[in-house]
Structures are given as C-alpha cells and as structure tokens.
A and B are shown apart, each in its own frame.
Chain A
Amino acid sequence: MRDWQRKTYLASVTDRYVKGQMDRRSFLRAAGKLGLSVGALGAGFGLSGRRPFFNLAPSAFAEGSLEPSPEMMKWLADVGKPFAGTTLRLATESTPPSNAIANSLKPFFEKASGIKIEIEVLPLEQVLQKLTLDVASQLGTYDLYYIDQSWAANFSQDVFDPREQIKDKPDLAYPDYNIDDFLPPLVDGIAKYKDRWVGVPYDIPIFIMQYRKDIYDELGLKAPETMDELLTNSQKITEAKGPQLYGTTGQMKSGHYSLECDWTCWLWGHGGQIFDTDRKFVGNNDAGIKAIEYWDKLKKTMPPGVDGWTWDGEGQSVSQGVAASMLSWGEFFPFFDDPKSGKISGLMEAAVPPKAITLISPDKTGFGEIPGVGHQGGSSLAVSKYSKNPDAAWVFMQWATAADTQALITVLGGGTGPTRTSVYDDPRVKANARVGAGTTRHLPVVRETISKYMGSEPDLPEWAEISSDTIPVALGQYFAGQYDSPKAAMDDIKTKVEAVLKS
C-alpha cells in the first residue's frame, strides 16, 4: 500500500470513528493494520468525539493539555486585577487566530483576568473602514487594532510600539513573552514600518507549493523546484488528465486583491519588482513583461473558471479534484486534509515554492517591498493609542500573541501558521501533524518558506487602492483581452499607479 493510500485509509477510518460509525476497538484494529505507531494512533484519536474545547479541539492530547498554561492563568489573574470589569473591543477579519480566540480561548482570558473582550469579525474592507473612523475621531472605540500588512504605513503613528510598552510597563509585562521569538522576516514584512513596530505579527497566510502527490506519482513528476518545472508539470497534467483535471489553478477574479497577490508571485519569481528605489512603478520592465508572458502560459493549464475565482474558488478547485496543484495560501492545506471538505484528504503534499529565476534584493526596491515567491498576506495586532484602556489592552495583546496561546490557536484554529519560532516546535503543534482536519503537517514547509522565500508587498498609504483596484482591474482587463500586449497592459498600470500616487 502506498503512503498516500495508507493516509487516505487512516483519514477514512478516523472520520468513521469520529462520526460514531465505528467502535474504538475496530478503529484501533484498523489503524494497527496500517502499521502505525502508538503516536500515530494518538493522532487518530485527535478527531475523537471527546472535545474539551467547545467541540472545536482535537483531543489527541491529555485532558487539560489544550488549555492555557497554569503560569499564564496565574499571570492573568495577578496582572488583570486592576482592570477587572473593563471591556475591550477588537475589530478583525475572520482569520484563524481571531476565530480561535473568539470561539474557544476567550473564556479562559475573561475568567482569569476579569477583563471582557468583544471581538467584531468583519470583512477586511470594513475593518479598514472602522479603524480609519476610529483614528479620525480618536474616540478609542476599538482598543486593539487588527492591521493588515498593507496598512502598516497608515496606522504606524496610531498604535503603541510593543517594545516601548514592554520597557515602559514592566509591571504589566508577561515574563515569558519574549518578543524576540517572533520570526524576524515576519517582523520586517508585516509589523515594521520604518523603525517602528506596528504591533506584533498576528497571523501569516503565505504562498506555499501544494500538489496532488497521487497525480504527481502517477505521471512520474516531482514537486517543482523552478518556475519552468511548475509550468511543465502543469502542462503535462493538463495534457494527460484534462479537462477533468487541470495542472494548476489560481485566484484571478478581475478587480479583486487576490489577483494582485498572484501577480506579485510571478513578478517577483521572474526578477521583477513593483517599485524601484526612486519609488517609481517598474512592474512594466522586461522582467515584469516576462512574468506576464509566463502567467499567460500557466493560465492555459488552469480550469476555465479561474478568471472568476478569488482564494475561495481556487481552494475549492483543488479540494473538489479539478486542479492538481496550487502555489498559494498555505492555510488551505488543513482544509484539503479534512475528509469532510472535499475529495482529496491525505492526497496533498506541501513543498516550498519554486525558486525564483532571479530575485531582486530588497535594497533595490521602494517602499519596503521584499521580493519573494512566497507572497505573504499577514497581519499584526496592536494597541490603539486612542484606547481608553491601553494597559488592559496590552495585557490582552500579550496573552493573545504569547507562545502558549499561539500554540493553542494553531491547534484549535485549524493548522494556521504560527508567527513565533518556538510554536513550530511545540509538542502540541507537532502532535497534530497527521492527515485530517486541522493538520499541522505542512508547517515545516511554512516555516522554511517564511525564512527563505517570503515576499512582502510595499508599505505606502496608497497601497490599499493600488493593490485592490488599480492593478487587479487592469490585469482583469488584460486577461479579458482588452489590451493588445502585456507591455500595453503594464504600461497602462504604470500610468494609473503614478496617478494614484500623485493624487
């Protein structure tokens, strides 16, 4: 039996066990036939019906091991006393950390500290709108800001630098907080604007290579290590399996931010850059044109609906067995492994992104752009300067981003990528590295991608408009055939970007 078949079988029996269609003895026997170790069996139990955390947590762990540590609870109880009864507010996008906190972990914080926390989960543009209103009015409606990496420049003066908070409030500092534990590339790419820390890295969706191992094995392919290999692999799969199965997929809905995310990946992968050191748009240079030409070829190996999909459609196209690979958000990987979500549980493998043909060094770019094939879309969490309860908010922020809490978030939040180095080695996170919902078996790849392949968009106040409208609308026009050539499209984007910068 091949490895992927064994994994599929394990996922299937685990699913039946979870649903109560199989008793414990039969499950153990079936798993034993697979030659799995006791540890792997434990992983299988991770999906059993005994869920101590509001029916969200896998219970591969001993009772109580998926709760905040006693040290953390004691610290919260001690430090939270003066703020008991205070209510904090946070407006956030629906991301795994926020969902895990809102759905599972919040009661622990509230019980221990006596501080109430209200979390508003909103679409990203509404979060931006709320934060903008808050900083304009300076009313302090929100105590904590969820800041997308593309807004770091906008809000850098409206939040506390966490390093200053640690220094200025030693009595409120969590002893094991260790701010140096945050992955340095994430600090640079997400949470830093000029010399200020705009909060701390909170979540990290990032592009990794995800592919169907069964299809790759069947066609004698290996995970692509270069851009050319990605293209040829995708072409071979499409030729052999199309139109039922396409080689790869994308998020190419015209006018949507997701299209810009894909563009940066191909642009940076071909030695291109968005801005030069003079802060001029240079996505229309030779490398930029080559990237579009490559993308044109790759698009022929994607399902026909790709022009109408954002990340949701892209992920669905893989999970429903329509596309065999995607160089995209690693957060999808646990979803693919979930037997309830699609047809490919246990069939996917993760790999680092293909190497860039050439890569521009960050010191040759403008606005803090960091070229890299592994496009990241992370966010940071910060305490608002207008908060009426900045100290209580700082207590919450330390708890929400501490290593102990982040390990719980990773396990409870469906295998999301941690932003701290130590959490990747946490035993609770490692124990979840098995096929099934909320797997963490892709996290070593995420970690390597962050450290070696990560790409970050530029930081400038106009970036929200440029990345969500100017570029994806023009690219949508290009793919709809409204430009004569890639050069014409990219030249037009340059004109439009510069008009936005001027205005």
Chain B
Amino acid sequence: MIKSRVRIGFHLLLKRRFWSILLFGSLLFLIRWTKGAGYLDLYSVLLKPILPGTAQREWIKEGENIERNIRLKLLEKDNSRLRRALSLKNFNPDQRISAAVISRSSRNWWQQLEINKGTNDGVLKGQTVIGPGGLIGLVDSTTPLTARVRLLTDPGHQVGAWIDRTKRHGILTGMGTNRPKLIFLNKNSLAEIGDAVTTSPASTLLPPNLTIGIVQFVDEKALPSPYAIVQLTASPDAIDWVQILKNNGQK
C-alpha cells in the first residue's frame, strides 16, 4: 500500500501539470512576498515613454512664471498706488531707456561707462542706471548722443542705501573695488552677512527698492560709525546693455 503511494507521489513529479501548478504557485507567492514589486517595476518601465517629460516640466514652470509675473504686476500696482497716497517717490518700470555700453573704464582711476543714449533720447544728469543684477550708477554728464555713467564703485561716489531687514539707512561709498562700503547712520547697524542692500524706499533722489548688493562683512565697532562691505549684484565689467530710469523712474 505504502509502496504504491510512493510510486504515485514520484509519478506526480514527472507530470508537467504538477510543475506548472508549482511554478504558478511560487510566482504567486513571490508576488505576494515582494508586494508586487516586479509588477510595479514593469509598469513603471512600460509607462516611462509616456510620462510627463522635461517639456511638460517647462510648461509647468512657464505657467508658474506667468502667475508670478501677474502677481508681481498686481503688487507693483498696489505698491505704486500706496506710494502715491503717501506722496513718496515712485518707481515706474515703463519709463526706461535701453542703452548699449560703448566704452568701459570700470577698473581705472575713474570708474565710468559711456553709453549710446544722450539728451536726444531724454537722458538727463543724475538719472539712475540699472543693469542685470540691479543698480550700477548714476548719469554724470550727457551729450546729445551719449551719456557718461559714474559707477557705484568709483572712489568717493556716494548714494543712499538701506538694509530692508533691519530698516537701517546708510551711505554707500565707492572704494574703487567691486565692494563698496555702506557707512551706517545709526550707531547700531544690526546688519548681518547675507543681508540684501537696496535703495531706500524713503529716498528722494533714487527710485525705491532697487537691488544694490549683499552684505559681505560688517564692522559694528568701527568709529565714528559702523560699516558694512557690500558685494554688488550687478557687475559693470560684464554688462553690455543698461537701462536708464527716465526722471529716476518718477512720474
């Protein structure tokens, strides 16, 4: 009896059906044990060609940028309305003149740029010149076709600036290098490395909130007043095109 059972048992091993069922069973166990990992991996591999690619990412980014631009314009309008209400100087981005740099002397005894727009295009002495990165300098003199820009880095050149985070004003003084010095008007500057330096919103000469640079070094104990060394965000050495804010961007 036992012998015949053993024979039947071994006989099963020779059956193809048995092996098929065993293979299916093990596969099922494997799927259950790995929680369908193989299936998921295969699914992801098959799905890869139709997944959202870089193009779609760019569309999303573009959409985000459009949304940000709309928000920025709305905020600028709001800001402009409030500044008018407070009778403060306004910054109007529409009143800009684009000009090319025709001669550059950004590292010499005189740190200046010559641009190809002059009084014929409405450029006047004292107007603000900006470039990619922020404020570059002020118009020093004009001819009918050209204008000379005195850079912020020119030794002795002084403009008002402030640190938005601490709300402390100072005088940004050119020292001949790409790092002008911000001499604070208060005894306690509260400035920290990494603070953004911008034009003061209360300024009567320059348009408000123009980026100037980033604080790189602070000396709180300096006499007669503390100072900070500012790394300019706009590099006059590399700029070929600038924008002049007509009437300092004032309406």
B and A form one assembly: no
